[in-house]
Amino acid sequence: MPLVKVNELLQDATQNHYGVPAVNCINVETARYTVEAAEQEHMPVIVQFWPGFKDYVPLRSIAGAARYFAENASVPVAVHQDHSWTYQIAVEGIRDGFPSVMVDGSSLPYEQNVALVKSVVDVADVFGVDIEAELGHVGNGSNAEDFATSDFYTKPELAAEFVERTGCGSLAIAVGNAHGPYVKVPHLDFERIQQCREAVGVPLVMHGCSDIPPEQLQRAVNLGMSKFNIATEYFRALYRSLEKDIKSGEHDGDGVKLLLGVGDDCRAFVREKIQMLNPNHYSM
C-alpha cells in the first residue's frame, strides 16, 4: 500500500468518526512495532518523530525507514515530523523526506505564529508536504497552570482566521491537554473542542494524549478530533517491557534478544490505543 498523506487520512477519520493515534517513535524498532500493530488492527496509524532526537538518530534515515514500513504496510500509514520549533527545523524536515511536518509557533505572539506557519506552508506547498500548526499553547503536564486554566487554550474565534491566513492543513488545539505526565487528571474543555470544530474545516489535533482518561479522548473523537499524539505512554510501555524482561532473567546477557523481545508489548500498547480511539467500531 502506498504511503498515505496525513491530511487525507485525517479527513477520512473525521468523516468516519474515528481517531488516529500519532505515535512518537525513536528508532526503527518502535516505528516497526507501531506499523505492525496497525496491520493487526486493520486500522491506520501515524508514525511520528520529534526532531530534537536528531543527534540520536539522523532524521533523514529514520524518515526513510518509516516511509519504507508505510509503503509496505497492508493498512494506510502516514509519516510525520513532530514539533519543529523553527523555520529551519521545519524545512529540514521537508528536505529529509517527511511527507508531513508540524511547525510549532504556539509560544510566539499570534502574528509571529501566523508568519512562521505561512512561510513554512509556502515551502511545503512546493513539495506537496502537509503542515500541522498549533494555536493556543499546549504546555507541560508537570505544571497544572499549563492545562487547568484556560489562559493558554485555543480561542475558537481566532482559529478560523489562523487557518485561512496560514494555509495549514491541520490544527493542534489547546483544550486542557498538556505534554508529559500530568500532575493531576486533566479535564478537556469539550465545549471549546466543539467550537473549534465548527470554526475550522481542517482536521484537529490533540497533543499530550498520554494519561488522558479514555472516555475523554473518545468524546473528543465524537466531537470531530482526529489526530491523537501519544509519546509518554509509549515510552513508558517500552521501559516497563525492558524492565520486566531484565527482571525475569530470560534473556540474561543477550542485548539483542532483550531489544527484540519488547515487540509484543509495544504492539499490544499501540493496538489498545487504536481500539480506544475507535469507539464507533469503524473498520477498513
Angle in degrees, CA 123, 128, 200, rounded to 5:
85
Measured from the CB atom, the residue of 207 and 267 that comes closer to Zn ion is: 207
Contact 39, 72 (CB under 8 A): no
Measured from the CB atom, the residue of 207 and 273 that comes closer to Zn ion is: 207
| 104 catalytic residue (yes or no) | no
C-alpha of 212 from chain center: 14
Nearest distance, CB of residue 243 and Zn ion, angstroms? 26
Which residues between 199 and 218 bind Zn ion (CB under 5 A)? 207
Which residues between 77 and 106 bind Zn ion (CB under 5 A)? none
Nearest distance, CB of residue 224 and Zn ion, angstroms? 19
C-beta atoms surrounding 232 within 10 Å: 18
User: Considering CB under 5 A, how many residues would be counted as binding Zn ion?
Assistant: 1
Nearest distance, CB of residue 176 and Zn ion, angstroms? 14
Nearest distance, CB of residue 216 and Zn ion, angstroms? 17
Contact 27, 59 (CB under 8 A): no
Measured from the CB atom, the residue of 229 and 278 that comes closer to Zn ion is: 229
Kindly write out the interface string for residues 143-182 of this chain, putting x where it contacts Zn ion by CB under 5 A and - elsewhere: ----------------------------------------
273 contacts Zn ion (rule: CB under 5 A): no
Minimal CB distance to Zn ion: which residue?
207
Distance between CA atoms of 237 and 270, rounded to whole angstroms? 10
Please tell me which residue in 12, 82, 96, 146 is annotated as part of the active site: 82
Residues contacting 109, CB < 8 A, separation 6+ = none
Residues contacting 140, CB < 8 A, separation 6+ = 146, 178, 179, 180
- 55, 169, 247, 275 from 129: Cα distances, Å: 24, 9, 44, 28
User: Which residues lie near Zn ion (CB under 5 A)?
Assistant: 207
Point out the residues that are catalytic. Answer: 82
